[in-house]
Structure 1
Amino acid sequence: MKVICDRGALVESLNLVGGVIVSRTPKPVLSCIKVTANDGALTLSGTDMEVAVKLTTPRVEVAESGDMLVPSDKLLAIVRESIDATLTIEANDEAAKITGQDSKFTIYGHNIEDYPPIPEYDGDPDFEVSAEELHRLIAMTIFATARENSRYAINGVLVEREKNKLTVVATDGHRLALAKGMCTSHNDTPQSAIVPTKALNLLLRLFDDAEQTVSVKMKDGQIMFATEEATLSTNLVEGNFPPYADVIPKDGDKKVTIATDVLVSAVRRAALLTNEESKGVRMAFDQAGLTLSSRAPEMGEAEIKVEIDEYVGDEVEIGFNPQYLLDALKVADESQVHIDMKAPNKPGVLRTGPQFLYVIMPVNLQ
């Protein structure tokens, strides 16, 4: 194998594929990137046996077809530190040679036969979705996933499709984020999958062109996302996702409408005087407006008053984790948010338009 590569494009591609590779593994081949030159294109592949990425890198001249398996970290470090505009990469047996204008490196790799197979995307997609829409749906939910929870199903994000409608849901047991979107369906059978957060974080980086159309296919316990340049495949999270529709309150009789930026500013300021022992912010709603207050022993206390656009219902005081509120408000794509509440010990529901809903459990304020 012999290729001449644009160094900048190669660095970008190696960074993307390297995102799936684990640095510490009992299987040395899993710390490697598979480099394949064929039909005038250079393809980089990586996997951790759960998630796999395949990416065709641009601006490459293929002098000789072939493939090689080289340690990801060493290859990226050499290419990144090079001062050349182009680099020549050659493979000979299990060694790779990277040559620049004033440098030459030899990296010892591994037998290509030892590398696990990377799933191939073939056949028609189940549905297609724009990269812009996919980014929106993931960004509005992924922050609410659990971290290393023993209930494995909530360590991922639920993706449901019914005809041309997509619903994406994430929860960690303390909050739940739900976003709705549209797709182009090629399969009328309803589908549901729990996708690992690692795969979705990689997806956000891999498909970063809003104009791209991403093809999606589910089969054999996997989901695959593909464009002409890249493919991401991942095993699905096993288990049953919680029945999320049952935990969305529908009886909130206290309703507030407030400007998104006003609420963000107020919550941020109130959170300045919270700590691990008292990380809740008290929110008092009435017809006159909203008062946010916080108090932390040996630190002090804060009180912020803000105007609200509309309030319906009796006055209520309820405590929320300010970071949980800010996580949702950061992805809000509307100028106003609507919050429904029932009582201080009942969850609140935050909405921005018809496509985003966020359920947040209250915290006990002493």
Structure 2
Amino acid sequence: MPASLKVNCDRTALVDALALASAVVPSRTTTPVLTCLKLVGKDGELQLRATDGQISLALTVQGVEVASEGEALVPADKLGQIVRTCEDSTVALETDRNVATVRGDGSTFKIYGYDPKDYPAARETQAGAAFEVTAETLRRLIARTLFATAVENARFAINGVLMERKGKRIRLVGTDGKRLAVAAGGCSGDGDMTLIVPSKSLNILVKMLGDPDSNVTIGKSDGQATFQVEGVGTLVTSLVEGTFPPFEDVIPKDQDKRVTFDAADLAAAIRRAALLTNEESKGVRFAFKGDTLVVSSRAPEMGEAEIRVPMSGYQGDAIEIGFQPAFIIDALKVVDGQQVMVEMRSPQKPGV
């Protein structure tokens, strides 16, 4: 392959691809080449590659004319800043040895890079078993579970999302030890597969799922998972080691009180009550009685709040339960539809 790369790119498409690829680039590293993106022009396509050692991403840039095939290794931050600030619809990029030149109408930038040969080889996994799921289904399942995962928890296995495939069903589970989110959907084929995917990897993957009708092929091999998104690119990630907690044991199965709310009304009431909470008094109280829920909060030296919310379908004795407001609001953000059902049994049991 010739050492010199020369391409003409649609600026908007290049900006989007650079932003996505740069999300993989580590903010701190002792290996300078990892702060770069590898650009590969071949067979009429331009591919961007990024890695942090644990995650590898390869993206195909749309709207590109490859005038000369080649490779380049360019600092991600500077290339992204330059292309973003260009006002032209088309950007020309070419390389000479380790120098990349970016040209627009009336502007020229030269960026000093590195030898492409110094970049780590592309990570690939030979997945013995793979299955497909639509981008829309996967995006929805990730949104409904990723928010509940732990951040830098000592229990390493919950720093990711459990992904279970059994036959034609796929289920994702996220938890931080205090809350649990479970979502399921359909997929293709037969067979079983279990993965614990790091949260960072899923945050990047979900940005690749813009076309709801595209398919995502998911495979697993040698402690790695591969997500091949149709028309976008491929994400290869190391998996979280360890055993995911037995989450099904903590899901209440004897709830005898159920009530339905307007999701927007409930979220608004919780946000308002949370205005009078602090570090010492973080929780809000839910008092269920008749056809009204009273959401209340009280914080010493600040004050107290009480908001009434209409509810329907509640039967049984009055009950009062405390919740962390952020936990409920996070869940309501990803609920589809206007109505939400809350299930409970007693103040000592978790709510669903």
Q: Normalising TM by the smaller chain, what interval?
A: over 0.9
Contact 1:258–1:310 under 8 Å retained in 2:
no
Contact 1:255–1:313 under 8 Å retained in 2:
no
2:146 alignment partner, one of 116, 122, 142: 142
What code does the residue aligned with 1:280 have? G
Point out the more displaced range, 48-57 or 227-236: 227-236
What code does the residue aligned with 1:80 have? R
Secondary structure of the 1:202 match is helix
Contact 1:130–1:213 under 8 Å retained in 2:
yes
Tell me which residue corresponds to 1:90.
94
Instruction: Report how far residue 288 of structure 1 moved.
Output: 4.2
Tell me which residue corresponds to 1:213.
215
Contact 2:126–2:221 under 8 Å retained in 1:
no
Tell me which residue corresponds to 2:27.
23
Tell me which residue corresponds to 2:135.
131
Tell me which residue corresponds to 1:201.
203
What code does the residue aligned with 1:215 have? T
2:288 alignment partner, one of 282, 285, 289: 285
Change (3 A) 1:289 1:219: same
> How far apart are the structure 2 equivalents of 1:212 and 1:221?
26
> How far apart are the structure 1 equivalents of 2:152 and 2:252?
27
> How far apart are the structure 2 equivalents of 1:258 and 1:3?
55
Secondary structure of the 2:254 match is coil
If the length of structure 2 is used for normalisation, what is the TM-score?
Answer: 0.95
Percent sequence identity over aligned pairs: 52
Tell me which residue corresponds to 2:316.
313
Secondary structure of the 2:28 match is coil
| 1:171-186 to 2 correspondences below 5 Å | 171-185=175-189
> How far apart are the structure 1 equivalents of 2:103 and 2:267?
52
Q: Structure 1 runs of 4+ off > 3 angstroms?
A: 120-125
Tell me which residue corresponds to 1:157.
161
1:229 alignment partner, one of 229, 232, 244: 232
Secondary structure of the 2:205 match is helix
What code does the residue aligned with 1:300 have? G
Contact 1:171–1:177 under 8 Å retained in 2:
yes
What code does the residue aligned with 1:201 have? N
What code does the residue aligned with 2:52 have? D
Instruction: Report how far residue 124 of structure 1 moved.
Output: 8.0
After superposition, give the CA deviation of every residue in 1:202-245 in whole Å (9 maximum; x if it has no partner). Answer: 11112211121111111111111112331111110001100010
| 1:1-366 to 2 correspondences below 5 Å | 1-120=5-124, 126-185=130-189, 188-226=190-228, 227-349=230-352
Change (3 A) 1:343 1:123: closer
Instruction: Report how far residue 305 of structure 1 moved.
Output: 1.8
Contact 2:269–2:307 under 8 Å retained in 1:
yes
> How far apart are the structure 2 equivalents of 1:199 and 1:328?
21
Point out the more displaced range, 227-236 or 37-46: 227-236
> How far apart are the structure 2 equivalents of 1:144 and 1:263?
19
Secondary structure of the 1:204 match is helix
Contact 2:94–2:100 under 8 Å retained in 1:
yes
- RMSD of Structure 2 on Structure 1 (CA): 1.5
Instruction: Report how far residue 122 of structure 1 moved.
Output: 6.5
Contact 1:284–1:292 under 8 Å retained in 2:
yes
Contact 1:94–1:111 under 8 Å retained in 2:
yes
Contact 1:259–1:309 under 8 Å retained in 2:
no
> How far apart are the structure 2 equivalents of 1:99 and 1:88?
5
> How far apart are the structure 1 equivalents of 2:239 and 2:303?
47
Change (3 A) 1:121 1:231: farther
> How far apart are the structure 1 equivalents of 2:56 and 2:125?
12
Secondary structure of the 2:314 match is strand
Contact 1:95–1:109 under 8 Å retained in 2:
yes
Change (3 A) 1:308 1:119: same
